[in-house]
Structure 1
Amino acid sequence: MNTRACWLHLGLALLLSLGGTSCRTAKSVVAAVEVKPSTFLEHATLLKENRKRSPFLGNWWNPDKKAKAALETAKKIHIAPVLHSHVRPMEGILPKIEYGTWRRDRNLPSLAKYTRKKFIQVFRDAKNPRFAVVDEPDKDAITLELSLLEWVPNTYSGFTVREIVDWVTFDGVAAVTLKGTRGLIAIEGRLIEPKSGKSVFEFADKEIGKTVLILPIQEFFPSGQAHFAITEWAKQLEELLRTKPDVKVKDSFPVVLWNY
């Protein structure tokens, strides 16, 4: 068996194993993704995976009955300005050389603004919205507070390395063998009940840049993969808060055919 055939069998085996994962997401199995929340979350140490319900790596629901009732009866939501003060130092040799920490930090405020804008858009444009989005805090509205936790921008050098690997093997191998060459982003968030000011739900998640097999447009922009993940997070959270507790909100697959 030649080298390319060996890689083909290895890649297919890894991708097929993703489809069989039940208690963990594909991203946590293949990319060994883990997220470590900051002090932004009051219950950071209590966050756990809940694959029967949530796509996020970390979840905490307030067990208090009054807090649950407040969330269930809320009809409005305020999405606060997104914080970026907890973002950790950038890791990876390629991003540091090509993009630079100073440039990454300079662009964090714009990424935070994009995050808030996208979450507002998704909640407002939902087909069967549960909440009415309000621009300012309201005594009857829960507040969604978000904080960026990590961000490593895309790099052309990383993209080139992965393309070479995929060319000598096949599309998708680089996704599971060269995670250090991909952009990544992590986020954490909490829902605040207005009357008590207490957190009713906290979550954290991390996404490594996906492999797009057809026309990977997001690869050509430093924040492309981050925008991709932020859009998915907004859709997932909206669905999680809208659906019943016995509904499973699916996580995304690390390899997709095209941008959407």
Structure 2
Amino acid sequence: MITSCRSAKSVVAAVEVKPTQFLPHAAELKEDRKRSPFLGNWWNPDKRVQAAAAQVKQIYIAPVITDHLRPMKQKLTKLEFSEERRNKKMTALAGYARDKFIQAFKKSKQQRFTVVEAPSKDAMTLKLSIFEWEPNTVTGLLAREAVDLVTLPMVGDLLAKPARGQIAIEGILQEPRTKKSFFEFADKEEARTLFFFFPQELFPSGQAKYAIREWARQFEKLMSTPDDVKVKDSLPFQIIAF
């Protein structure tokens, strides 16, 4: 499980991401194990766009949209959540996501981009869309804990996959002068395997917020490091709460 985080996503957890029409180059996304932690990546091959993007020193992070949010699929999730209840929480989660991406750039030690508050001809624009979200459920937590009680710790997380929280995101980084995509990505995360029980499992958005913080950190690092630097994914297990 810990040989690599990418193998944890692709093999152990069998996580796959299917982006929406939000991404202009959704069909061209590929894994980039040598560079990116995201499951799907597309870099604009146009040298003119690359050169233009290299000159930009600012970034605007647009409000996160949920226009392409897919219906819930998990049976336990649908038992505990109506679409109306999930949508209300989704609004807050979208705001949380934008805040965390802004914070990631503002707190960056590399300072590749300065965050601006409005779109600008001198700023890259990051557009984000959350298109899947299966909230944590108390029923799912109890099911996983019950398995752990009669087996070993973490076995419940591995066997009860349909009872685990999930979230998927996609994004476009747009170059301001050409208005073309410089980078597009998509990724999906499931609740991490836990060594111990943590309070965040009791909150519907606990897993989602953890994933969002990791995505913000990873994206900022991907944009602020040279092309030959590998940005590592987060571990397939979690040992601290929140």
Q: TM-score, normalised by structure 1?
A: 0.90
Radius of gyration: which is bigger?
1
User: Partners in 1 of 2:200 and 2:214 — Cα distance?
Assistant: 14
SS of 1:230 mapped into structure 2 = helix
Counterpart residue number, 2:57:
75
Contact 1:212 1:259 in 2 (8 A): no
Structure 1 counterpart of 2:241: 259
Matched, 1:141 2:123: yes
What residue is the counterpart of 2:102 in the other structure? 120
* Counterpart residue type for residue 154 of structure 1: N
Name the residue aligned to 1:104: 86
Following superposition, the deviation at residue 252 of structure 1 comes to 1.3
Residue 227 (structure 2) pairs with residue 242 (structure 1)? no
CA distance, structure 1, for counterparts of residue 203 and residue 151 of structure 2: 25
For residues 104 and 184 of structure 2, what CA distance do their matches in structure 1 show? 19
Q: Give the alignment of 1:42-191 within 5 angstroms.
A: 42-191=24-173
- Tell me how many residue pairs correspond in the alignment: 242
User: Is the counterpart of residue 38 in structure 1 residue 17 in structure 2?
Assistant: no
In structure 2, C-alpha distance between the alignment counterparts of 1:241 and 1:92, rounded to whole Å: 34
Instruction: Indicate the larger mover: 24-33 or 35-44.
Output: 24-33
The letter of the residue matching 2:194 is: V
* 1:115 aligned partner, one-letter code: A
The alignment's C-alpha RMSD in Å is 1.3
Alignment deviations for residues 94-115 of structure 1 (CA, whole Å, 9 cap, x no partner): 0000122221122221111111
Note the C-alpha offset of 1:25: 3.2
SS of structure 2 residue aligned to 1:201 = strand
**Equivalents in 2 of 1:116, 1:220: separation in Å?**
23
State yes or no: 1:29 paired with 2:15: no
Residue equivalent to 1:197: 179
Shift of 1:27: 1.7
Could you tell me which amino acid in structure 2 is paired with residue 235 of structure 1?
Answer: R
The 10-residue stretch of structure 1 (116-125 or 213-222) with the greater mean CA deviation from structure 2:
213-222
| One-letter amino acid matched to 1:81 | P
Asked whether the 8 Å contact 2:171–2:186 carries over to 1, the reply is: yes
| 1:215 CA displacement | 4.5
**Aligned partner letter, 1:123:** F
**Which letter maps to 1:56?**
F
Percentage of identical aligned residues: 55
1:8-67 superposed Cα distances (whole Å, 9 cap, x missing partner)? xxxxxxx3xx41x58x43122111111011000000000000111100000000000011
Give the aligned residue type for 1:122.
Answer: A
What SS does structure 1 have at the residue aligned with 2:86?
helix
* In 2: Cα distance, 1:129 partner to 1:172 partner: 39
d(CA) in 2 for partners of 1:25 and 1:130?
29
Which consecutive segments of 4 or more residues in structure 1 shift more than 4 A? none
CA deviation vs aligned residue, 1:193-245 (integer Å, no higher than 9, x gap):
11111001000000001123235121011011000000000000000000111
Q: Would the aligned equivalents of 1:145 and 1:189 in 2 still touch at CA under 8 Å?
A: yes
Q: Work out whether residues 212 and 256 of structure 1, in 8 Å CA contact, stay in contact via their aligned partners in 2.
A: yes
C-alpha separation in 1, matches of 2:236 and 2:152: 16
